[in-house]
Amino acid sequence: MARIIIVTDAWHPQMNGVVRTLDTTTRTLRGYGHIVEVIEPTPYFQVPIPFYPEIRLAVPVPHRVGDRMRKFSPDHVHIATEGTLGVLARSFCLKWKWRYTTSYHTRFPEYVQQLVRFPKSWMYSLLKKFHNRGSGIMVAAPSLEAELKARGFTAPIRRWSRGVDQTQFRPQPHITSGYAKPIQLYVGRVSTEKGVEDFLKLNTPGTKLIVGDGPARIDLQRRYPQAVFLGYRTGQALSDCYAMADVFVFPSKTDTFGLVVVEALASGLPVAAYPATGPIDIITQPGLGAIDENLGIAVEIALRTGNRDACLREAARYTWDACTKQFESNLVPIRER
């Protein structure tokens, strides 16, 4: 049994892959018998990010965070995000000479460049400074590991894959929806950096189904009235969306993994995607879908060659138990033994 601090700027009520990963990992670690303290934004005053108001950053009183960390007396510290809480926790760890690990979940340089034209090189310099003093960076995909090394990230890079709840995301009888087929499904944030418009612009037959919400939804819904926007779905309602679809389309070029890709495979859906980090690490076998610089061609091939059994076999490799055991083995003691 160990005492573990996880520091994250991303937490409920946000709905995204980072929050799902950290929440599930925390619950699984507690199930193993570990004592886990999550330092997250809820107890603190928060302000919205100007160019992304749905995401709010904590504005904590520094000594209160430090007091929580010291009082908990951890064996391990993991700093999951590079926001205000992550920066503060890192500064305390360095001050006290505590060793810690970090993780790289989000391509902030690419996101910020798209949203406010901030140079990627500046953001990468800040991120290298943040991560390189730690004792390990956890990443989900081999291609991301190679990229970070090429960009000058020098802390040891450790693999931390992802899991899927295979009781929720599972093969079901196909649901007849009444929408024109083939049904092409997108699940995720409806925002500029996710490439949703690339999907909506495709001249493909059938119905484009958008599940999720975000800052670009109103504009995209107005400009693409032929697409069906369902908003957020959770639980069985989300599983039913997968069950009515014929192909899953993942148009993002900026994700670091794409948890929804594995959820689609676990539901028996082939995936069409760009050759980007995440899809190129997952869609590696025949029958799982298709990857192409031309997203329309990827959709066409995935519909033609997708194999339900192959998708289910691949998804079975991604369990939260295996994911959490990776995380557990990547942790470092706060002091050298």
Task: Please tell me the predicted confidence (pLDDT) of residue 317.
Answer: 96
| Residue 108 main-chain phi, psi, to 5 deg | -60, -40
Instruction: Identify whether 171 is preceded by a cis peptide bond (ω within 30 of 0).
Output: no
Cβ-contact 251, 271 below 8 angstroms: no
Q: What is the homologous superfamily of the domain 3-163+320-330 according to CATH?
A: Glycogen Phosphorylase B; (3.40.50.2000)
Task: Please tell me the predicted confidence (pLDDT) of residue 238.
Answer: 96
Q: What is the pLDDT along the chain (337 residues), one digit of tens a residue?
A: 999 999 999 999 998 999 999 999 999 999 999 999 999 999 999 998 776 677 788 999 899 999 999 999 999 999 999 999 999 999 999 999 999 999 999 887 677 776 666 788 899 999 999 999 999 999 999 999 999 999 999 999 999 999 999 999 999 998 889 999 999 999 999 998 899 999 999 999 999 999 999 999 999 999 999 999 999 999 999 999 999 999 999 999 999 999 999 999 999 999 999 999 999 999 999 999 999 999 999 999 999 999 999 999 999 999 999 999 999 999 999 998 7
Give CA–CA dist 80/186, Å, rounded: 26
Cβ-contact 37, 4 below 8 angstroms: yes
Q: What are the residues facing 47 on neighbouring strands?
A: 57
Between 3.30.565.10, 3.40.50.2000, 3.10.129.10, 3.30.1380.10, what CATH number should domain 183-315 receive? 3.40.50.2000
**Cα separations in angstroms, 269 against 139, 247, 254:** 25, 6, 22
Report the length, in residues, of the chain. Answer: 337
Count H helices, E strands: the chain? Answer: 14, 14
- CA count, 13 A, side-chain hemisphere, 255: 28
CA angle 244, 258, 270 (to 5 degrees): 40
- CA count, 13 A, side-chain hemisphere, 318: 30
Q: Which of 135, 129, 118, 174 is nearest to 152 (CA)?
A: 129
Cβ-contact 160, 101 below 8 angstroms: no
Helix (H, G, I), strand (E, B) or coil at 240: helix
Helix (H) or strand (E) holding 314: helix 308-315
Count of beta carbons in the 10 Å neighbourhood of residue 307: 15
Q: Where are the domains of the chain?
A: 3-163+320-330, 183-315
- Residue 10: partners with Cβ closer than 8 Å, 6 or more residues away: 16, 18, 19, 22, 80, 81, 83, 105
Classify residue 106 by its DSSP letter.
B
Helix (H) or strand (E) holding 290: strand 289-291
In sign, the C-alpha dihedral spanning 146, 148, 150, 156 is negative
Residue with tokens 């005053």: 45
Cβ-contact 4, 89 below 8 angstroms: no
Cβ-contact 80, 86 below 8 angstroms: yes
Give CA–CA dist 211/244, Å, rounded: 12
Helix (H, G, I), strand (E, B) or coil at 6: strand
Rounded to two decimals, the pTM is 0.94
User: Where do the DSSP E strands lie in 44-174?
Assistant: 46-49, 52-58, 76-79, 101-103, 137-139, 157-159
Cβ-contact 76, 45 below 8 angstroms: no
